[in-house]
Amino acid sequence: MAETVHAFRSAHLGNERSIWIREPAVPSQPYGLTIFLDGELYRDRVGVIAIIDDLEARAALANSLFVFVSMHSEEARWIECPCHQSFADFINGELVTWLEAKYPAVKKSAERILIGLSYTGLAAAFIAMKAPGAFTHVVAQSGSFWWNDCWLVEQFRRLETRLPTAFYFDVGSKETNENVRHKIDVLQVVSQIAAIRRLRDVMLDQGYAIKYVEFEGGHEFAAWRKTLPEALRWVLPASTKD
């Protein structure tokens, strides 16, 4: 499908990044909006374009506009992704507003999906929480919900009203490391798998629609490449109508 790349400057973040936009398979028909955070990682390391190509060729995916948001820099990623209000404002306000102006059909999208991996999986869930109803689905692949002693897990536990959002979580059976020093000021006390299970259980208790997958493997692009097709089929199921 046709694809364009744009340089997008955020007033909230005070920086600029690349945004890739892939046109819907059938632009003349209604379509959803699917936003990938860590766009360059999904494109270059996960192989998302080939995955989408394959699913669309087999008519296994609903019609959608696909948007890939790059990081500004690795250093900025450490700041912006762990539950950073300005990053949520950038996605929920600036980017979505710009997309709605550029593609008016987005305003009518029945499905709006936000996808991330690791730190951006954490960010995706936070962004959805900060704008209830803005996204119908969140996909978090090995989301870093261990951050700040599972702070976001506790925020979901304390929500008085359940979000109108369904969540897909996956995590590797080998993502069991605890007390990992990622940076001098970033300590992961809880393992990836334990934190994700904790969030899953909180959400199930609150009645969320959840798809939870444990795969054989670790915190790695090859594993996310294998689980992503199932995640996309879950959030963008092909129509069963003739």
CATH number of 3-234: 3.40.50.1820
Say how far apart CA 65 and CA 115 lie, in whole Å.
Answer: 13
Say how far apart CA 32 and CA 96 lie, in whole Å.
Answer: 12
Residues in the chain: 242
Residue boundaries of the structural domains of the chain: 3-234
Look at residue 241 in the predicted model and tell me its pLDDT.
46
Pairing state of beta strands 180-183 and 186-188?
A: antiparallel
Q: Read off φ and ψ for residue 191, nearest 5 degrees.
A: -70, 160
**Residue from 185, 186, 201, 196 nearest 219 by CA:** 196
For residues 177 and 191, is the Cβ–Cβ distance under 8 A? Answer: yes
What is the signed CA dihedral for 150, 10, 131, 207, rounded to 10 degrees?
Answer: -40
Q: Read off φ and ψ for residue 240, nearest 5 degrees.
A: -95, 0
What does pLDDT average to in each consecutive run of 10 residues of the chain (242 residues)?
Answer: 93 97 93 97 98 96 97 95 98 97 92 98 98 97 98 97 97 96 94 98 97 97 98 90 42
3-class SS string, the chain = CCEEEEEEEECCCCEEEEEEEECCCCCCCCCEEEEECCHHHHHHHHCHHHHHHHHHHCCCCCCEEEEEECCCCHHHHHHHCCCCHHHHHHHHHHHHHHHHHHCHHHHHCCCEEEEEECHHHHHHHHHHHHCCCCCCEEEEECCCCCHHHHHHHHHHHHCCCCCCCEEEEEEECCCCCCCEEEECCEEECCCHHHHHHHHHHHHHHCCCCEEEEEECCCCCHHHHHHHHHHHHHHHCCCCCCC
Look at residue 242 in the predicted model and tell me its pLDDT.
38
Enter the pTM of the model.
0.97
Alpha carbon distances (Å) from 212 to 118, 163, 168, 203? 15, 18, 6, 11
For residues 130 and 88, is the Cβ–Cβ distance under 8 A? Answer: yes
Task: Enter the tokens of residue 129.
Answer: 């929480």
